[in-house]
Chain A
């Protein structure tokens, strides 16, 4: 089964290598990994999609926890969550077919971000399924170039994977 993990890490050099190295070394399968800063510049957030049964996921979780730079891990798979991915696709389109492509873009609420003599670059966001479908419908026109960000995700409602808990933990440390 596919699991979506939200992982907060210290924004230290090498932290990505540590996480990626752990996955490859222990033979865990990463489907996608997206990383970026949070509102706290010392903390980054990784969204990792990993494939595995319950035992594998338990190991992924426990081994990640052992990395000193990993602050918090939430497996949000079972929660209600919003997930998004962004894709940029460059297609080569004869001007006569531009209209068709634009219609497809409309259906997916994609945007045209660049228009060349022979090419058209489109941007689309959505969950994996939508982005897959968008990619597929452009395939017949000849995709020149494609880039996907990998999935980012966030729990719905009042649940969150934030570093408020981290600051609490740090305060806790300071107290003892």
Chain B
């Protein structure tokens, strides 16, 4: 049967099981939106294309399914770019569709023309411009295949207006044939045996677990490995929830704002078992002093990560889940480990903490949210101090419950991401832990949550500062607060103006009741917590220092 390119796109999306799209229309996307009108795909109109990209990203992080966003050409497409880059840095499966000017107008600086495949080349796993409607169904299939397999990532498909309008026959594209793309899944048995032997022989092993554990669904395998060998587990920001935060073997987060005991464990271990991680500088600090006495096992699906930043003694390339299963087969349970005694001693000696002073402490707000939600909420965050406090003080016990911009560190990510999370998990409680600065970067999405009755709870830790930057200025720039102080709007009134519930909280005793109230209403709520303005995130590894040299 003959269909327009746009209709073929809809068929192709349905064939991929897509039922949700976040997007924003415009001229070059008109044919696509016209075809969308007749489908039962749920389209969420965000109020900015950046919001659509982050919502698709949040949807993917929470559900494990690819997120889909759609925008028009030119400014619509360029507005997606931050969201695409964000998904790229955190390896999130996403497919972004953009309208484009007609092929006859390409390269002529036509109205709303932007070279979006050129612009997104370094921030996509792959991208396409569809020049012939007969290639469309094949390209869409490839795009989803590439986005979701191997190390996941965003793929962009740019569709000129004449391609989406031209009529052609829709055919099933058949199996994907990409000679240059063959993600490795099964690990090499020799690599597995060597890694297993190293684990058996280690006296002071530590697992360093990251986002790869979450994206490959290896949390059960990781737990089994840790419990069998009594190995302590430190997670990265992206790995939070990949191992239960309340597990006796958990040492929490490592790195710049990690716990002291996690960083001590890494600094003292004789074997580092790195699982689904990439040795980011925010984790390792001074590279030469990172796990200086350890041999390193690195398990990752992306060969290129192995050996990129550190020397690896035992590489294991493959899907993290399959690798862990294979390694487990060669291990015998351990019954006791003196090493754990040392770690438990550090845990007692150097707990996370803060000093009460009668003001609302941001850490307290996070703890109260954790108690009130029994640690069962999905927590999205923006970027800054509040993000680190959320990571430190909320206990994440299940994967895909912490939704945060790790690699790119994108202020404005959390709120639209929370929209995607709420759409993916309609029955669950979804929070955005926000800063007063970050929230204003995508505050317009209040209209979206009200429009679609998405009961996202926004908790602003309002310190009147671009707090994380202010903290660096305080510590490393002589307290010269250059353009980090802000006068803010009344967020509760802004929320009300949009049709959401707004609450302003100024004293510690109001914190818990406000959270309870927010949880009791089935509506979007903005809680504006006026917090101690110059509270710092501690502990902290000063930039360029070894991770066991922490302040605080």
**Most chain A beta-carbon contacts within 10 A, residue among B118, B122, B302:** B122
Contacts of B146 in A (CB 8 A): 68
Majority SS of interface residues in chain B? loop
User: CB distance A59 to B304 under 8 Å?
Assistant: yes
B482 at the A interface (CB under 8 A)? no
User: CB distance A17 to B179 under 8 Å?
Assistant: no
B180 CB contact (under 8 Å) in A25, A62, A67, A174: A67
A144 at the B interface (CB under 8 A)? no
Look across to chain A and name the residue whose beta carbon is closest to the beta carbon of B118.
A17
B177 at the A interface (CB under 8 A)? yes
A14 at the B interface (CB under 8 A)? yes
B193 at the A interface (CB under 8 A)? no
B307 CB contact (under 8 Å) in A14, A58, A70: A58
Alpha-carbon distance A68/B182, docked complex (angstroms):
9
B1 at the A interface (CB under 8 A)? no
A65 at the B interface (CB under 8 A)? yes
- Smallest CB–CB gap between B418 and chain A, Å? 31
User: CB distance B122 to A10 under 8 Å?
Assistant: no
- Smallest CB–CB gap between A67 and chain B, Å? 7
Contacts of B121 in A (CB 8 A): 14, 17-18, 21
Beyond contacts A55-B307, A68-B146, A170-B177: 10 other A-B pairs, Cβ-Cβ < 8 A, are A17-B121, A18-B121, A21-B122, A59-B307, A66-B302, A66-B304, A68-B125, A169-B179, A174-B175, A174-B177
List 14 A-B pairs, Cβ < 8 Å: A14-B118, A17-B118, A17-B121, A55-B307, A59-B307, A65-B304, A66-B304, A67-B180, A71-B179, A72-B180, A169-B179, A173-B175, A173-B179, A174-B175
- Smallest CB–CB gap between B324 and chain A, Å? 22
A9 at the B interface (CB under 8 A)? yes
Alpha-carbon distance A99/B175, docked complex (angstroms):
65
User: CB distance A68 to B178 under 8 Å?
Assistant: yes
Look across to chain A and name the residue whose beta carbon is closest to the beta carbon of B304.
A62
User: CB distance B122 to A25 under 8 Å?
Assistant: yes
Contacts of B307 in A (CB 8 A): 55, 58-59
User: CB distance A69 to B180 under 8 Å?
Assistant: yes
Number of interface residues of B (CB under 8 A): 20
Alpha-carbon distance A14/B178, docked complex (angstroms):
16
List CB contacts (< 8 Å) of B105-153 with chain A. 117-118, 121-122, 125-126, 129, 146
List CB contacts (< 8 Å) of A45-72 with chain B. 55, 58-59, 62-63, 65-72
Interface range on chain A: under 10, 10 to 19, 20 to 34, or 35 or more? 20 to 34
**Most chain A beta-carbon contacts within 10 A, residue among B175, B180, B302, B304:** B180
User: CB distance B303 to A10 under 8 Å?
Assistant: no
User: CB distance A173 to B180 under 8 Å?
Assistant: no
Look across to chain B and name the residue whose beta carbon is closest to the beta carbon of A55.
B307
User: CB distance B179 to A59 under 8 Å?
Assistant: no
Contacts of A66 in B (CB 8 A): 302, 304
A156 at the B interface (CB under 8 A)? no
Contacts of A166 in B (CB 8 A): 179
Alpha-carbon distance A53/B175, docked complex (angstroms):
40
Contact with B along A10-45 (1 / 0, CB 8 A): 100110011001000100000000000000000000
Alpha-carbon distance A62/B183, docked complex (angstroms):
12
Contacts of B178 in A (CB 8 A): 68
List CB contacts (< 8 Å) of B153-203 with chain A. 175, 177-182
Alpha-carbon distance A18/B120, docked complex (angstroms):
11
Contacts of A65 in B (CB 8 A): 303-304
Contacts of B117 in A (CB 8 A): 14
- Smallest CB–CB gap between B84 and chain A, Å? 15
**Most chain A beta-carbon contacts within 10 A, residue among B126, B179, B303:** B179
Alpha-carbon distance A65/B181, docked complex (angstroms):
8
B374 at the A interface (CB under 8 A)? no
Contacts of B179 in A (CB 8 A): 10, 71, 166, 169-170, 173
Alpha-carbon distance A169/B302, docked complex (angstroms):
20
Contacts of B125 in A (CB 8 A): 68
- Smallest CB–CB gap between A12 and chain B, Å? 9
Alpha-carbon distance A9/B125, docked complex (angstroms):
16
User: CB distance B180 to A70 under 8 Å?
Assistant: yes
B329 at the A interface (CB under 8 A)? no
- Smallest CB–CB gap between B279 and chain A, Å? 13
B517 at the A interface (CB under 8 A)? no
B177 CB contact (under 8 Å) in A67, A69, A173: A173
User: CB distance A68 to B177 under 8 Å?
Assistant: no
List CB contacts (< 8 Å) of A142-169 with chain B. 166, 169
Contacts of A58 in B (CB 8 A): 307
B348 at the A interface (CB under 8 A)? no
User: CB distance A63 to B304 under 8 Å?
Assistant: yes
User: CB distance A9 to B180 under 8 Å?
Assistant: yes
Contacts of A71 in B (CB 8 A): 179-180
Look across to chain A and name the residue whose beta carbon is closest to the beta carbon of B146.
A68
Contacts of B129 in A (CB 8 A): 13
Alpha-carbon distance A21/B426, docked complex (angstroms):
41
Contacts of A173 in B (CB 8 A): 175, 177, 179
Contacts of A21 in B (CB 8 A): 121-122
List CB contacts (< 8 Å) of A69-126 with chain B. 69-72
Alpha-carbon distance A70/B180, docked complex (angstroms):
5
List CB contacts (< 8 Å) of B208-236 with chain A. none
Contacts of B303 in A (CB 8 A): 62, 65
Contacts of B308 in A (CB 8 A): 59
**Most chain A beta-carbon contacts within 10 A, residue among B126, B146, B181:** B181
User: CB distance B182 to A169 under 8 Å?
Assistant: yes
- Smallest CB–CB gap between A7 and chain B, Å? 10
Contacts of B180 in A (CB 8 A): 9-10, 67-72
User: CB distance A68 to B181 under 8 Å?
Assistant: yes
Alpha-carbon distance A13/B302, docked complex (angstroms):
26
Alpha-carbon distance A92/B121, docked complex (angstroms):
44
Contacts of B126 in A (CB 8 A): 68
Alpha-carbon distance A68/B153, docked complex (angstroms):
13
Alpha-carbon distance A122/B327, docked complex (angstroms):
63
Q: What 6 A-B pairs have minimum CB-CB distances, sorted nearest first?
A: A62-B304, A71-B180, A68-B126, A68-B181, A70-B180, A71-B179
Look across to chain A and name the residue whose beta carbon is closest to the beta carbon of B317.
A62
Contacts of A67 in B (CB 8 A): 180
Contacts of A170 in B (CB 8 A): 177, 179
- Smallest CB–CB gap between B291 and chain A, Å? 19
Alpha-carbon distance A24/B472, docked complex (angstroms):
31
Look across to chain A and name the residue whose beta carbon is closest to the beta carbon of B117.
A14
- Smallest CB–CB gap between A68 and chain B, Å? 5
Contacts of A17 in B (CB 8 A): 118, 121
Contact with A along B227-271 (1 / 0, CB 8 A): 000000000000000000000000000000000000000000000
